[in-house]
Amino acid sequence: MAEFETIRRTGAGVRTAQIDEGLRTHMNKVYGTMSVGTLVTFAVAWAVGSSPELLSVFRNPETLQPNILGWIIMFAPLIMVFAMGGMVNRLSTSGLQLFFYAFAAVMGLSIAWIFQAFTGMSIAQVFLVTSIAFAGLSLWGYTTKKDISGWGSFLIMGVIGLIVASLINIFLQSPALVFAVSILGVLIFAGLTAYDTQKIKTTYLQMRATEGEEFLGKAAIMGALSLYLDFINMFMMLLSLFGNRE
């Protein structure tokens, strides 16, 4: 009986170790894909934003107001996010990953103007602050025993409210509304960072036994997309609040 109990515990320990190793590999893929996407975004943004000639293709180099092509580039990432969600089942894992990197490049074009509007030092400082905050929030979301899945509906409603307010402010040009959106945006995307991290972890643990490598690979890329959006949006909100303008 004692031998059976030892074998049972050993078997349970092996299964736990396998789950831990699989989860670690999955999360590494999520963070790795997100990191590459973030690097692509800022490399494209810096290359275009630091060149007035390239930036003038999308925006007036003096006022930084977008032209027709600039408006298209501004809304292209939003369209691509919805398109990516709709093509998950149609694309292969490698195809979905390539689409994500293409999306990251377009996002870089859409935020390239920040390198003309803000000082390089303040962009670097805000990026560092965002990275530290993101790492702490994501770590908390990964390690907490508290179920925060209930946050989802409230946070998504908050994101929709931010989008609507931002669209309205395109016409109003209200500094007070920009400030309010930025404050609320930081809080909302901070919450989403923890929520999305826990959701990625929970999805893997629930699906690893029933789904194949193809599904889990795509889940990792979509998880990377969620965290990437949380990071970029938090960065932009913090930059709006604390960035030093040129």
pLDDT digits (tens, 9 = 90+) for 66-120: 999 999 999 999 999 999 988 888 999 999 999 999 999 999 999 999 999 999 9
Query: Helices 120-143 and 213-242: crossing angle, nearest 10°?
Result: 130
- Give whole-number Cα distances, 46 to 155, 220, 244, in Å: 31, 27, 17
Kindly report the pTM of this predicted structure.
0.89
- 3-state helix, strand, coil split of the chain in percent (to 5) is 80, 0, 15
Confidence of residue 210 (pLDDT cuts 50, 70, 90): confident
Confidence of residue 11 (pLDDT cuts 50, 70, 90): very low
- Token pair of 232 as six digits: 């970029």
